[in-house]
Structure 1
Amino acid sequence: MKQDGSIALFHYWNRLRKGRPAPKRTEIEPADIKTLLTDTFILERDTRGEAVFRLAGTRLCAIYGRELKGFSFPSLWREKDQRLVARLAHGVFESNSVVVIAFDGISRNGRSNAFEMVILPLDGGIDSPRSLGAISAEHKPFWLGADPIVEAQVESVRVVDPDREPMFLKNRPAIGVPALAPSELPSEGDVRTAGSRRIRHLLVFDGGRGQ
């Protein structure tokens, strides 16, 4: 993670969980993260099994030019990235993955800006999986919030092991995503040589302590 908002939300989440896979959703206190609220969101799984926005901060809604509550999370992304994003959200719900996505947001008028997103699991019970996230703009151009983002293009994905890497978040390499169809993920042999391991359909990068 590179953006202060992502790192601050991660450390808050990490403190709350106290060694558990995820904190309970009822443990989240908005007052504790009041400086981050405008950039945060909560996802839930709907009856179709799709990740949708349950809540979204005011600045996020302004950036996208609409109220995000109830909208499909994968629908924010370009078509070729939607399946990947849906699988990553599913991994957060089902495997308590911590996911960081770097992406370019494309505006209605064709402008582009870089963003970072972190998605963190919450324990909402078997029937009500939730996740907490934040989106941070790397830059804040004059048009952001006036020219709505209409499409997001994934640039890189990082799956963080929160028990190994909390002190090294700024130093971890991201996985480049030139055209990330599921069939294009590295083979298991490639994963070993890259110093990472596969957990179901996700990749977790090990190490960091010696850097």
Structure 2
Amino acid sequence: MKHGVTQTLYNYWDNLRGARPAPNRSEVDPGEIRGLLGDTFILETNGSRDVRYRLAGTRLCSAHCRELKGRNFLRGWSVKDREALESLIAAITEDAAAAVIGINGHTERGQILQMEMLLVPLNVPGEGRIRVLGSCTPMEKPYWIGLHPILSQSISSLRLVWPDERPYFVDSPASTLNPILPRFTAEGIAMPTPPLPSGAERKVGHLTVYSGGKS
């Protein structure tokens, strides 16, 4: 976490959650992070491939020269980067991870804006889904930001952060459900866990996690 906005938002979220995997959405007080709001956003997940901006700050929208609310978060990435983001979103919403991502935003003129993104989970009791609180902040502020829109983005670095040092599923029995949100079918029956390779602990998106590390 290099940027002050990333560090401040992460610390706010971490203090808010306490000993829980994630804080409730209703506990987030915009007044307490007033100075960060222009760079923050909330994502609503409707499946791994449908992740949309529910709210987006003014500075973030200005960098894209458009309103982001309602737009698909996964739009504008390469296939490889989109798959990586889908796996990150799964780790965040299913296993209470946080993610820090280095991003390059590209304009039609070939200009590149380096940014740092933070993604952390928010629990929404009663809605049956997890939302994602995030920030996306330019590392520098070139003269053209807000004049030439970011049309595509690419990942330059990414890191999963386990706030309590280990994923919640590592020390849990195989039958334990998501610590944030149990997954159910439309009929209300818990979904069966697919078989894993020998020695594996858990699947995170298309990634397989083995004891002693994440791969």
TM-score range, shorter chain: 0.7 to 0.9
Rounded to whole Å, the distance in 2 between the matches of 1:139 and 1:33 is 21
Which residue does the alignment assign to 1:58?
58
- Partner secondary structure for residue 76 of structure 1: coil
8 A Cα contact 2:105 2:151, kept in partner: yes
Which residue does the alignment assign to 2:143?
142
Change (3 A) 1:95 1:103: same
Paired residue type of 2:140: H
Which residue does the alignment assign to 1:116?
116
Rounded to whole Å, the distance in 1 between the matches of 2:79 and 2:160 is 22
**What is the TM-score normalised by the length of structure 1?**
0.76
Rounded to whole Å, the distance in 2 between the matches of 1:156 and 1:47 is 24
- Residue 108 of structure 1 deviates from its aligned partner by 2.4
Which residue does the alignment assign to 1:34?
34
Rounded to whole Å, the distance in 1 between the matches of 2:82 and 2:157 is 14
Which residue does the alignment assign to 2:131?
130
8 A Cα contact 1:74 1:83, kept in partner: no
- Residue 198 of structure 1 deviates from its aligned partner by 7.5
8 A Cα contact 1:50 1:86, kept in partner: no
8 A Cα contact 2:48 2:90, kept in partner: no
- String of CA shifts for 1:66-111, please: whole Å, max 9, x gaps: 1111111111323331121122122211211101110111012210
- Residue 199 of structure 1 deviates from its aligned partner by 5.6
Paired residue type of 1:158: R
Q: Which moved more, 1:116-125 or 1:4-13?
A: 116-125
Rounded to whole Å, the distance in 1 between the matches of 2:21 and 2:89 is 16
- Partner secondary structure for residue 124 of structure 2: coil
Greater helix share, structure number? 1
- Residue 49 of structure 1 deviates from its aligned partner by 5.8
Paired residue type of 2:150: I
- String of CA shifts for 1:51-73, please: whole Å, max 9, x gaps: 11100001111111111111111
- String of CA shifts for 1:7-54, please: whole Å, max 9, x gaps: 000000011001110000000000010000000000011378621110
Map 1:1-211 → 2, pairs under 5 A = 1-46=1-46, 50-125=50-125, 127-164=128-165, 200-201=203-204
Paired residue type of 2:109: N
User: RMSD over aligned Cα, in angstroms?
Assistant: 2.5
**Sequence identity percentage:** 37
- Residue 157 of structure 1 deviates from its aligned partner by 0.8
Gaps of 5+ in 1: 166-196, 207-211
Change (3 A) 1:79 1:3: same
**What is the TM-score normalised by the length of structure 2?**
0.75
Rounded to whole Å, the distance in 1 between the matches of 2:2 and 2:201 is 24
8 A Cα contact 1:40 1:135, kept in partner: yes
Q: Which moved more, 1:78-87 or 1:132-141?
A: 78-87
- Partner secondary structure for residue 9 of structure 1: helix
Rounded to whole Å, the distance in 2 between the matches of 1:130 and 1:119 is 10
Rounded to whole Å, the distance in 1 between the matches of 2:150 and 2:113 is 9
Aligned length: 176
8 A Cα contact 1:51 1:90, kept in partner: no
